[in-house]
Amino acid sequence: MSLLARVALMTALCLPAAAHAQHQWIVATEQPRVSAGATFEILVIAPVDEELPDRLDARLTASPADERVIPLQAQGVPVGGQRLYSATLPAGMSGTVAVELAGRASSVLLLEVASAPPGPFEILAGRRPGEVEPPISENDPIYFIVGSRGGTSARFQLSFKYRLFDQSSGFGRDQAWLAGIYFGYTQNSLWDLSGESRPFRDTSYRPSLFWRWQRTDDRTWIDELRIGYEHESNGGAEVRSRSIDTLFIRPEWRWNLADDARLEFTPKVYGYLDKEENPDIDQYRGHVDWRVRYDSGLNWIATGVARVGKSGKGSVLLDLSRRIRDLRFGPVGGYLHIQYFRGYGEDILGYDQQRKSQLRIGFAIVP
């Protein structure tokens, strides 16, 4: 008998008779210690006359404020009412984590989880071990890229979000919904490197205030939701001034695929509160940013964002990033970043202008 089978059998013998009467599922492992972000294996024993599917969902609980549902993928075929499953432990978990099957009466397995090495933005933000999310974290991508079609130009973006109320103290602890309020900021600049004195063509400043809700069970049909207000302007004077104010809602769906890959669909739907300086901007931007993102789980990350204006004019932005695991700048790892843009409004000043399509290559901290 294998070690996994022996562990499972011992677990089964220790369960109260009442649990067996209720046809309880049993979970066991020979990996009681695992690192966050690493793959681990679980042996599942099904009650009599129950099938062991190719996929099960597991609920992981590190604390009342940190509960996640992850997929378990079958490894091999069922043997004698048992089947081995594998999954990847979320990178943000640490400490003692309780594991049980979601939506099924099952035993509870305890894992000792070591913190994962912090990512690039977590290092910059100073994340503490075991913290679900640092107070300041990534929002949109952070990159610097250069292209040379129609003259050499660079595009770079900085972005972050800041949680206004701490989850473990003060108002955020007393009123849990307050811990979902964030201030966000994104700045995107287009830099003309071929022009005299190398001027900036335009810069977009986007502060926002939003409330963020995240799913904590296995029943809700949506994974995350953001609702908020955003201002965008270029800080220009007189005829060069452009600004809009919007209210937005951004639902998020995520699917875990084979080999730790993940697919995300995060459309951002917005309505204009003020567009006096550019009253026809919805003809070119429309009211939705259609965004799809694919992470291979290894090295590649691809993101696409499409806008379709009310006039049928719009734009497409495609980003492709590859992790450069061996290249490190100080404490921050990097990504090779490629971006393609085609359509109207690469900057808010030229929201109604269509320039030549652009392909730029550079470096990203957050893809």
Give the lowest-confidence range in 198-212, 227-241, 263-277, 329-343. 329-343
Which pair of structure tokens corresponds to residue 49?
Answer: 């006359």
Going by C-alpha positions, the residue among 168, 236, 245, 181 that lies closest to residue 209 is 181
Instruction: Label residue 19 by pLDDT band (50, 70, 90).
Output: very low
What digits encode the pLDDT tens for the residues 291-324? 999 999 878 999 999 999 999 999 999 999 998 8
- Which helix (H) or strand (E) covers residue 103, if one does? none
Long-range Cβ contact pairs of 131-134 (< 8 A, separation 24 or more): 131/92, 132/65, 132/66, 132/92, 132/167, 133/92, 133/163
Rounded distance, CA 180 to CA 161, Å?
11
**CB burial readout 180-198, b (16+ within 10 A) else e:** bbbbbebebbbbbeeeeee
The yes-or-no verdict on residue 269 having pLDDT over 60 is: yes
Scanning 76-233, the segments in alpha helix (DSSP H) are 120-125, 170-174
Which residues, other chains included, contact 283 with Cβ-Cβ below 8 Å and sequence gap of 6+?
Answer: 309, 310, 311, 313, 352
What digits encode the pLDDT tens for the residues 27-47? 999 888 888 878 889 999 999
Rounded distance, CA 270 to CA 204, Å?
18
Instruction: Label residue 160 by pLDDT band (50, 70, 90).
Output: very high
Name the residue type at position 223.
D
Query: What is the DSSP track for 202-232?
Result: EEEEEEEEEEEEE--SSS-S-SEEEEEEEEE
What digits encode the pLDDT tens for the residues 169-197? 677 777 888 989 999 999 999 999 988 88
Instruction: Label residue 126 by pLDDT band (50, 70, 90).
Output: very low
Which residues, other chains included, contact 6 with Cβ-Cβ below 8 Å and sequence gap of 6+?
Answer: none
Instruction: Label residue 15 by pLDDT band (50, 70, 90).
Output: very low
* Mean pLDDT of the 205-223 span: 89
Name the residue type at position 5.
A
Q: Name residue 272's beta-bridge partners.
A: 246
Name the residue type at position 221.
W
Q: Which domains does the chain have, with CATH numbers?
A: 3-114 (2.60.40.10), 120-366 (2.40.230.10)
- pLDDT score for 16: 43
